[in-house]
Amino acid sequence: MSERVIAIEGGYKLNGTVRISGAKNATVALIPATVLSDEPVEIYGVPEISDVKALAILLKELNCEVSVEGDKVTIDPTHMKDLPLVSDAVNKLRASYYFMGVLLGKYKRVKIKMPGGCYLGPRPIDLHLKGFEALGAKITYEDDTYILEADELIGNRIYLDFASVGATINILFAAVKAKGKTVIENAAKEPEIIDVANLLTKMGAKIRGVGTDTITIEGVEHLHGTFHEIIPDRIEAGTFLVIAAAAGEKVLIQNIIPQHLEALISKLKEMGVEMEVIGDSIIVYGGRAPLHHVNIKTQTYPGFATDLQQPLTTLLTQAEGDSQVKETIYAERFKHCEQLNKMGANIELEEATSIIHGATPLHGARVEATDLRCGAALVIAGLIATGKTEITNIYHIDRGYDNIDHKLITLGAHITRYEIDD
Ligand code: EPU
């Protein structure tokens, strides 16, 4: 058996400009959202990632027309059919769970296989299901498949025990077409949720309070066509800020909303990274000063994003002294640490916390992208390591980073892909 790897020859300093793509975690909710409309919806700024391709397969299974022109995707649900989603495509991405909310909203019933996605420890969907039940759905689960059915959906008051991104969006999807008023309390506040609510509002939904912890939805009968441009990907932007700090000299990163990255920017400044924010761009001056160790605790937005702790960990291997990264969202999101240790890092794990003893030079090795952001952490490690790094399981990286090789090569990185024998 052979496998395609990303190979990076480390040590080349990066310079130039990179443009951030549309937000993956908004896109994977915006695309399912379009089927709530009775007319075509155009989405602009769609990133070229495999999660989008997997969603397009699911839409086609539902008899929606999907057309792609550059970064514009048009979804026409006019001839959509009420069908079960039980093919293997459902397992390709976690966000397939958004079809629960939209199909329940649209048809008052849905049959869907258990969603897939990165393994970051247990990832239950009990809060989504609790929300659907509160709106009147009956739920059964058999052979890895959920069946949700309701005679009608009726608005209700729903308190989330945890401010879950997925549950907030999914309940929003069902509630926009429920009868009467739904109030989601302790709702998540991530920018991707605001983006999704903006699209739904343009489609005719009545939503208030998004971006606060109480969202109020007044159900409507019909939603109509519109167009929408996706917000920039704050996690891709954060990854490039770290890349530039680790391997760059002067890198200009465009299409950023700096407010979405305040927690990371303040930690980078605390580490001693020099940056300049100019409108929707940030210039990073890498390698100007020695890096200081810092402690991080992941939190829901606007706290430090769990998706960025993995890439930042690679930079922390280059800081003098001990840094600590405490995970409060996914207790087991530390698989990247073992891989970084293979490259010369000195990271220990202790109860949902990684302790990074720095600074350690990194050397090339064959390492495994165990999940998407682990992949990003390893790409950064490969860029600063001496010699060649080969990253396996790169489908994880392609699920979430739009043309990462091309963007890095433009900045001066030496990256190729080729087949190796397992
Ligand atoms: N949780 C529950 N029950 C639920 C839902 C969540 O216990 O019903 C727990 C989870 O197990 C986890 C925490 O709540 O411990 C946070 O989960 P959340 O629902 O907020 O996350 P998600 O919707 O599954 C999205 C992103 C993740 C990102 C998290 C946190 C998508 C498709 N995924 O996941 O993105 O890490 O929010 O911000 O939007 C990534 O991009 O690499 C990624 C994993």
Q: Quote the pLDDT of residue 422.
A: 75
- Highest mean pLDDT pick, 50-54, 82-86, 222-226: 222-226
Is the backbone of residue 350 left (phi > 0), alpha (psi -120 to 50) or beta? Answer: beta
Is the backbone of residue 232 left (phi > 0), alpha (psi -120 to 50) or beta? Answer: beta
Whole-number mean pLDDT of the chain? 96
Average pLDDT score over residue span 104-115: 92
Q: Quote the pLDDT of residue 94.
A: 87
> Distance between CA 354 and CA 343 in Å, rounded?
16
> b/e per residue, 95-126, with b = 16+ CB within 10 A?
bbbbbbbbbbbbbbbbbbbebbbbebeeeebe
Question: Which atom of ligand 1 lies nearest, measured to the CA of 301?
Answer: 38
CB atoms within 10 A of CB 208: 13
Lowest mean pLDDT among 25-39, 104-118, 288-302, 359-373: 104-118
The protein residue with its alpha carbon nearest to ligand 1, atom 6, reads 164
Residues 176-205: pLDDT tens digits? 999 999 999 999 999 999 999 999 999 999
Q: Quote the pLDDT of residue 221.
A: 97
pLDDT of residue 250 exceeding 90: yes
> Distance between CA 365 and CA 182 in Å, rounded?
52
Residue 320 Cα to ligand 1 middle (Å): 32
Q: Quote the pLDDT of residue 391.
A: 98
- Residues whose beta carbon lies within 6 Å of some atom of ligand 1: 25, 28, 94-95, 118, 123-128, 162, 164-167, 188, 235, 306-307, 329-330, 372-373, 400
The protein residue with its alpha carbon nearest to ligand 1, atom 22, reads 166
Q: Please answer whether residues 37 and 223 qualify as being in contact, where contact means their C-beta atoms are separated by less than 8 angstroms.
A: yes
pLDDT of residue 105 exceeding 90: yes
Q: Quote the pLDDT of residue 119.
A: 62
- What's the one-letter identity of residue 225? G
> Distance between CA 180 and CA 116 in Å, rounded?
33
Average pLDDT score over residue span 298-314: 98
Split at pLDDT 50, 70, 90, the class of 123 is confident
pTM of the model: 0.97
Average pLDDT score over residue span 31-49: 98
Question: Which atom of ligand 1 lies nearest, measured to the CA of 330?
Answer: 15
Q: Quote the pLDDT of residue 124.
A: 86
Active site residue 64: no
Q: Quote the pLDDT of residue 414.
A: 98
Ligand 1 pocket: which of 141, 329, 332, 336 to mutate (most atoms <8 Å of CB)?
A: 329
CA distance between the termini of the chain: 6
Peptide bond into 258 cis (omega under 30): no
Split at pLDDT 50, 70, 90, the class of 368 is very high
Q: Quote the pLDDT of residue 379.
A: 98
The protein residue with its alpha carbon nearest to ligand 1, atom 28, reads 307
The CA radius of gyration of the chain, in Å to the nearest whole number, is: 22
Residue percentage of the chain with pLDDT more than 70: 98
pLDDT of residue 122 exceeding 80: no
Q: Quote the pLDDT of residue 121.
A: 64
- What's the one-letter identity of residue 131? G
